[in-house]
Structure 1
Amino acid sequence: MAKKQDAPVTLNLNAPTLRDIDTIHPYPGNAKKHDERSTKKLAESIRRFGWRGNPILVDKDGVIIAGHGRRLAALHLGLKKVPVSVEQDLSAAQARAFRLADNRAAMTDLDGDLLEKELTEFPDLAVDLTGIFDKKELDFAVTDLMTTDESVFETDLADAVREQAGQLDERIDGADGKRITIAKLLGFKGVVGKDAIFVTRLMAKIEADTGLVGEDAFVQYAREHVEL
């Protein structure tokens, strides 16, 4: 019986171009979460080493296929233009499938032993990576794993205590510090699916105009455009 031949791998190398960041838009159903912490780390990497490879991939309408985190990092840095590749050869279904595949492929862990070896043999790397890795991650990685570096755990404990204290302070703050859900403020909980893209693009414009992300951008925009 003849052995089944693997399908050939196609190489789609669309040349990236610089585009205004407010012309690209996040996909409303993007499954991968990007918190402020990861955004700042990616932004620091771009700031320190430049934008090397990995343009933001979008469809013909400017909706992001891959690169939501890079867009947020660019906004954090105040970039007005970003490298973008338009993937016009993908159907809507293919774009959705690739978006999920790309998100899943990015979910991986570092090999702790190899990370420790790299940082031990090349200690200057630790300096270059501060702000991209957490300090406690670097401290633990360069510590001899056969001994106990108590300062690492003391820092963690102190951080945890301060975090809990901060959370308690937030709970006992007055009305000015109390968080209120957007649904309660706006008077509605959601919009129909066909209109979600317009709300998403509005938020993208607000983020581009303010240079902020998420709720910070929304509140700043409201402060600038509403008179009390």
Structure 2
Amino acid sequence: MKQLTMKLKDLVRPERNIRIHTEKQLAEFERSVRMFGQIRPIVVDENNIILAGNGLYETLLRMNREEALVYKYEDLTEAQKKKLMIADNKIFSLGIENLDTLNEFLEELEGDLDIPGFDEDILRQMVADADEITEKISEYGTLDEEEVRKIKEANEKREQAEATDNGADQETDLPLQAPERQSGSDAGVGQEPAETGRFVICPKCGERIWL
């Protein structure tokens, strides 16, 4: 492969092109070339047939340019040429934008949002939305005086209710339990009284106190 400058009139469009270039894309291509110049070469084979860069080629023609930077392959097979055309169009589409970094760049540009490939009004709206989101995040958790007053009242009511519940628990008697009746002759001397009465559990030793 070698790099050279060629006349556009000497380049040849391929009979079949995988990528369809819309009017919108060509217009953005032109914006880019006017702003930055040709930043990547057109790729051709030994017959000057374009393998990659058809959109750029069409853009340069629209701009009445006469020459372009070209990479020229002279040793590719027909299969390799087709693979190159497919890969060039597909690989780029596999990537995704890092929106966080994009937003950071847009903010750092400080309003200079004339960027090829983007609508300037949409970019300004994106920056404005990001500023609004940042403001709302900074306000998150901030309470006004009325909200603070309501929270204090709710806390006081809860504390009063808890104090009332604790006092009621201390005044409650130990519960009485009525055991099931035992029958038979085993209930003799030395054994616990027949469990036909009422008793309470001693809170200290855990023994039954019969009433």
Short-chain TM bin: 0.5 to 0.7
- Name the one with the larger helix percent: 1
Kept in 1: contact 2:44–2:52 (CA 8 A): yes
Amino acid at match of 1:16: Q
The corresponding residue for 1:143 is 128
Identity of aligned residues (%): 25
The corresponding residue for 2:54 is 68
Kept in 2: contact 1:18–1:83 (CA 8 A): yes
In the alignment, the residues of structure 2 paired with residue 43 and residue 60 of structure 1 have an alpha-carbon distance, to the nearest angstrom, of 27
In the alignment, the residues of structure 2 paired with residue 110 and residue 21 of structure 1 have an alpha-carbon distance, to the nearest angstrom, of 33
The corresponding residue for 2:6 is 19
Q: Deviations over 1:16-64 (max 9, x none)?
A: 2111112112222211111011111111111111122x21000111111
| TM-score, normalised relative to structure 2 | 0.57
In the alignment, the residues of structure 2 paired with residue 24 and residue 40 of structure 1 have an alpha-carbon distance, to the nearest angstrom, of 21
- Structure 1: segments with no counterpart, 5+ residues: 1-13, 149-228
Counterparts of 1:47-86 in structure 2 under 5 Å? 47-52=34-39, 54-86=40-72
Q: CA deviation at 1:147?
A: 4.0
Identify the structure with bigger relative contact order (alpha carbons < 8 Å, sequence gap 6+): 1
Task: Return the index of the structure with the highest Cα Rg.
Answer: 2
Kept in 2: contact 1:58–1:87 (CA 8 A): yes
In the alignment, the residues of structure 2 paired with residue 110 and residue 39 of structure 1 have an alpha-carbon distance, to the nearest angstrom, of 21
- Structure 2: segments with no counterpart, 5+ residues: 134-211
Q: Deviations over 1:67-117 (max 9, x none)?
A: 011101111211111111211121111010011011001214422222111
The 1:136–1:124 alpha-carbon spacing in structure 2 relative to 1, beyond 3 Å, is closer
Kept in 2: contact 1:112–1:141 (CA 8 A): no
Counterparts of 1:98-113 in structure 2 under 5 Å? 98-107=84-93, 108-113=95-100
In the alignment, the residues of structure 2 paired with residue 138 and residue 28 of structure 1 have an alpha-carbon distance, to the nearest angstrom, of 38
Amino acid at match of 1:140: Q
Kept in 1: contact 2:14–2:51 (CA 8 A): yes
| TM-score, normalised relative to structure 1 | 0.53
